[in-house]
Amino acid sequence: MTGAVNPNFLSGQGIEDILLNTAILALLAVGQSVVVITRNLDLSVGSVVGLVAFVTADVLAGGWGLVPGVVFGVAVGAACGLLNGLLVSFCRVPALVVTLGTLYVIQGVDHYIAHGRQINAVDLPPALLSLGNGAVLGVPYLPLITLVFMLLIGYYLRSYPSGREFYAIGSSPEAARLAGVPVRRRILTAYLVSGCLAGLAGVLWLARFGTVIGDSANGWELIVISAVVVGGVAITGGVGSVYGAALGALLLTTIGSALVVLRVNPFWQQAITGALLLLAISVDRVLAMRVARLLRNRSRHG
């Protein structure tokens, strides 16, 4: 339908735009899915992207090289993830409370550093802008970077015993603890991974758009969570994959682009995203109840 209204939507350029728009969201969804699998949540990822995008732009405009600037941005994201992880895992503060608090703290720090300034693309190294808009063999760099990290993390979670422990924690933290799983360290690692990928996403945001202000990616945390849940990662933990989370990001981005082409009111765009989130959670809950009922029946007959 969208292709009939606007043939350019399915053109090579249209597909490339969708991939570029999906890349950052999918990268955040991959990191968020690792946290959600452990039955936790990270609401601070959007504010981390905004902070990293601005401080990285600031140091690059000040004369830093591209590699040190990228490493600095990822390190800032890692520090935010480490703070969240320490508070959730070792201080045992609920994840919702911690990450909601750090969301506002990081936003405040971002606005304090920005102080109303705007950094433009002309102030940034050309190599960074090429990273955000260049391609290899016709495929943009940004989706390729996201694909690499998705495959690496997905392979680790599926193939390594320590990776399976994330699922064990999400299924039953107490049982995982009794089985000898280092629950606190794994939860800390999950938040560290989320923070590092949010830091990298902030660098890629800067490379993609060039111009940054103090509230970049504001509100993205809910879109990221929506992508994760729509992609099949259970909000209650223990179920799902990073591949599904990335596909959820692609689905939401495609729907959003289609609605723009169809000139649908922005209110309905948000309403459709919310409806998809509610539908995914409802389906997940219904399936979980059916599985539990089948297991009880099997146990009773046994």
Give the count of beta carbons closer than 10 Å to the beta carbon of residue 158.
13
Residues 6+ apart with CB under 8 A from 131: 141, 142, 204, 207
Q: What angle do CA 283, 274, 188 make, to 5 degrees?
A: 75
pLDDT exceeds cutoff 60 at 6: no
For residue 245, what are its two tokens?
A: 């989370």
Determine the pLDDT at residue 93: 94
User: Contact at 8 Å (CB) between 35 and 194?
Assistant: yes
Residues facing 212 on adjacent strands: 119
pTM for this one? Answer: 0.90
Query: What's the DSSP call for residue 179?
Result: T
User: Contact at 8 Å (CB) between 277 and 229?
Assistant: yes
Number of residues in the chain: 302
User: Distance between the two ends of the chain, CA-based, in angstroms?
Assistant: 52
Determine the pLDDT at residue 132: 87
pLDDT exceeds cutoff 60 at 3: no
User: Contact at 8 Å (CB) between 170 and 38?
Assistant: yes
pLDDT exceeds cutoff 70 at 163: yes
Confidence class of residue 36 from pLDDT cuts 50, 70 and 90? Answer: very high
For residue 51, what are its two tokens?
A: 């902070």
Residues 6+ apart with CB under 8 A from 205: 24, 49, 52, 53, 212, 216, 217
Determine the pLDDT at residue 272: 76
Confidence class of residue 116 from pLDDT cuts 50, 70 and 90? Answer: confident
User: Contact at 8 Å (CB) between 2 and 262?
Assistant: yes
- pLDDT tens-digit series, residues 51-88: 999 999 999 998 899 999 999 999 999 999 999 999 99
pLDDT exceeds cutoff 70 at 25: yes
- Domains in the chain, CATH or no CATH each: 2-301 (1.10.3470)
Please provide the average confidence, as pLDDT, over all residues in the chain.
88
Q: Is the Cα torsion angle 105, 202, 16, 19 positive or negative in sign?
A: negative
For residue 8, what are its two tokens?
A: 């350019």
pLDDT exceeds cutoff 70 at 277: yes
Q: Between these two residues, 61 and 5, which has the higher pLDDT value?
A: 61
Mean pLDDT, rounded, for 195-205:
96
Give the count of beta carbons closer than 10 Å to the beta carbon of residue 100.
15
Tokens 């209110």, residue located: 267
